[in-house]
């Protein structure tokens, strides 16, 4: 049964999955720094821009959540599922997510952040004509 409205659930879910995406990006930064990349700077610059965009968005989401008294609590995790409790004022809603579905949601957010961080691609051939 749904206890949170669509907007509350959307804000809380985005905060949750965006936080996970930030962790993934930070791990990727570490892997690039420690990896066998010949030229690390472009990758690190892209990942840093993604981290900045994600952190700024998460800060705005956190402010919205504080105003609306929304919280997200991790209940438990196993190999297949993760459970979270979404709290809003006096209402609460428990949600179970299939771990591969979480991975897909985080992947979509990482792709969004990458598109925001990259300048628009301009084909050199079509730009000169």
pLDDT digits over 114-125, tens only? Answer: 999 987 776 666
What is the total count of domains within the chain?
1
Do the domain assignments include residue 51? yes
On the 0-12 / 13-18 / 19+ scale of CB atoms within 10 A, 67 is: exposed
Domain limits for position 48: 6-118
- Contact assessment for residue 25 and residue 47, using Cβ atoms and an 8 Å cutoff: yes
Do the domain assignments include residue 41? yes
Do the domain assignments include residue 123? no
What does the H/E/C string look like for the chain? CCCCCHHHHHHHHHHHHHHHHHHHHHHHHHHHHHCCCCCCHHHHHHHHHHHHHHHHHHHHHHHHHHHHCEEEEEEEECCCEEEEEEEECCEEEEEEEEHHHHHHHHHHHHHHHHHHHCCCCCCHHHHHC
Separation between Cα atoms, residue 56 and residue 50, nearest integer Å: 10
Do the domain assignments include residue 125? no
In the predicted structure, residue 38 carries a pLDDT above the cut 70: yes
Do the domain assignments include residue 126? no
Query: Cβ of 109: how many Cβ atoms within 10 Å?
Result: 22
Do the domain assignments include residue 100? yes
pTM reported for the whole predicted model:
0.89
On the 0-12 / 13-18 / 19+ scale of CB atoms within 10 A, 106 is: buried
pLDDT digits over 75-95, tens only? Answer: 999 999 999 999 998 899 999
In the predicted structure, residue 129 carries a pLDDT above the cut 60: no
In the predicted structure, residue 72 carries a pLDDT above the cut 90: yes
């Amino acid at each position: 049964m749904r206890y949170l409205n669509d907007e509350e659930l959307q804000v809380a879910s985005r905060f949750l999955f965006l936080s996970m995406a930030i962790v993934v990006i930070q791990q990727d930064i570490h892997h690039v720094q420690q990896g066998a990349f010949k030229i690390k700077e472009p990758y690190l610059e892209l990942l840093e821009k993604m981290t900045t965009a994600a952190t700024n968005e998460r800060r705005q989401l956190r402010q919205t959540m504080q105003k609306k008294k929304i919280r997200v609590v991790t209940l438990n995790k196993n190999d297949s599922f993760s459970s979270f409790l979404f709290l809003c004022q006096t209402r609460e809603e428990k949600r179970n997510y299939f771990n591969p579905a979480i991975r897909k949601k985080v992947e979509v957010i990482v792709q969004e952040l990458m598109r925001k961080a990259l300048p628009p691609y301009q084909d050199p051939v079509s730009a000169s004509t």
